[in-house]
Amino acid sequence: MVSSSTLFLLILLFLGFIAKNQAILIAVYILLGIKLLKLDDKVFPFLESKGLFMGVVVITVAVLVPIATGDIGFEQLVQSVKSYYAWIALISGVFVAYIAKHGLDLLANDPHLTAALVIGTILAVVFFQGVAVGPLIGAGIAYITMQAVDSLIKLFS
């Protein structure tokens, strides 16, 4: 008998195949492989506790590669701040990092919301060719929205 978690992963595998989304396919292959090798009791808790951090590190390394290769240096930095697009990008970077901070707080304090965020991210990845950084940013947006709704409720109560 196939467990419900395995069935869910197989459905995601199918959706990833239909959507031709390599990120979902690779992630599901890895998770199914871990389950098949019966390493899930050891590996899943580690991935659950450290995986997000490891992913952020990998993304950060990838973003910093042009600095390490010399493609982006101080000259490009000085030139970029002369453009209003660069200022928009700078402010966006600050805003997203601020939102992500609150996303980490929300995921740590309200783990039951993780399921909804993960499902939303999977839907975006599979159907809209999104990128699976959604749970963290989604949690941050959810946190800020919840705070705003709570404030409005208190204001009108």
Exposure b/e, 54-84, CB count within 10 A at least 16 = b: eeeeeeeeeeeeeeeeeeeeeeeeeeeeeee
Q: In the predicted model, what is the mean pLDDT of the chain?
A: 85
pTM recorded for the entire structure? 0.66
Q: Locate tokens 């990092």: which residue?
A: 97
Does residue 46 sit within a domain? no
Q: Locate tokens 């978690």: which residue?
A: 5
Is pLDDT at 149 greater than 90 in this prediction?
yes
Does residue 96 sit within a domain? yes
Does residue 127 sit within a domain? yes
Does residue 30 sit within a domain? no
**Structure tokens of 147?**
């705070």
Is pLDDT at 135 greater than 80 in this prediction?
no
**Structure tokens of 137?**
């940013």
Check residues 133 and 23 and name the one with the higher pLDDT: 23
- SS3 for 108-134 is HHCCCHHHHHHHHHHHHHHHHCCCCCH
Check residues 44 and 23 and name the one with the higher pLDDT: 44
* pLDDT for residue 128: 84
Residues of the chain above pLDDT 70, percent: 97
Domain housing 119: 73-157
Does residue 62 sit within a domain? no
Instruction: Say how many domains are in the chain.
Output: 1
